[in-house]
Amino acid sequence: MRTFRSLPSRFRQQSSNAALRHYNSPSNPSRTIVFPKRIIICRHGESKGNVSDSAYVTTPDWLIPLSPKGVLQSTALAHNIKRIVGDESLYFYTSPYLRTKQTTNEMLNLMKPQTLGVREEPRLTEQQFGNFQNVVDVREQKSERIKYGRFYYRFPLGESGLDVYNRASSFINTLYRDFEDEDIVKDENTNIVIVCHGLTMRLLLLRFFHFTVTDFERSENIDNAKYVIMERLEQKKIKRKKRGVFQLNENSLKLLKFPPNKLDEDQEAQVSQKGVNELMKEMRRAGLSSLSDPAEHIKYWTKKPFGL
């Protein structure tokens, strides 16, 4: 439900001579943490697996390359990011998959002089569907996943959405520690660029902004070579808050179909109590009568197709 992320409690002691974007480092009090101006999360360009799922039969998922169209899309993505950041510095985190590294490489071809570094991050990989894939089996499993729910459904020999969520949680902790490193966040105009996969992106944002599982189930992947932007907000834009936050811009929320409503401090404290009541009201508005009837659940979650 939230479209912002508050700082962990250990970061909330503000530096006496700094604005909202600077906080004392817990590990080194003499240095301030500098939060990046933006975190831009990109989906890789079109891959050969996006063109035909038969590619997964003989090629490991992590070695599926971009299609020719995907290369062009990645070049266009690089120019779009360049227009946003100008000459500001960048630091990249990329999934180890070939298609994400190829997408990152297209951006480096254009913006290498302003790039502070690139890190290959295994926790950003695609959801695991198994090893070499049987096309018919995987299609049936994806159809079953829609009925069961994308967050909890586990692929045989693979991962559930919850598994991806857990490794995304671990990555966010690392990301915040990295903000203490001046080699990664050089100054307040540094931009973080994360290149990953559609479902991984949604689960990363689910964890980062504390959206609900219901929000996730109703969200959709953005298209190949598209991106969402998390912007650092200044204190004057945050009512009654003394903590630094990031916020997804409105266009990003629309692309993902995450809820646009923002919570103030009082609402934030009541989310846990209201969550079930809000879901029940929503289901009643949809004409569903029971939370306990599995048939009602299937009817609810399959009202519309969800993005893969």
Residues labelled as active-site residues: 44, 126
Q: Given the structure tokens 């090629």, which residue do they identify?
A: 59
* Cα–Cα distance, 49 to 52 (Å, whole number): 5
Strands laid side by side in the 245-248 sheet: 4-6, 245-248, 227-232, 38-43, 191-196, 90-94, 115-120
Contact 34, 182 (CB under 8 A): yes
Give SS3 for 53.
coil
How much of the chain is helix, strand and coil, in % rounded to 5? 45, 15, 40
* Cα–Cα distance, 296 to 294 (Å, whole number): 5
User: Going by C-beta distance under 8 Å and a sequence separation of 6 or more, which residues neighbour residue 234?
Assistant: 19, 20, 21
Give the sign of the dihedral formed by CA 258, CA 260, CA 264, CA 266. negative
Count Cβ atoms below 10 Å from residue 123 Cβ, excluding itself.
19
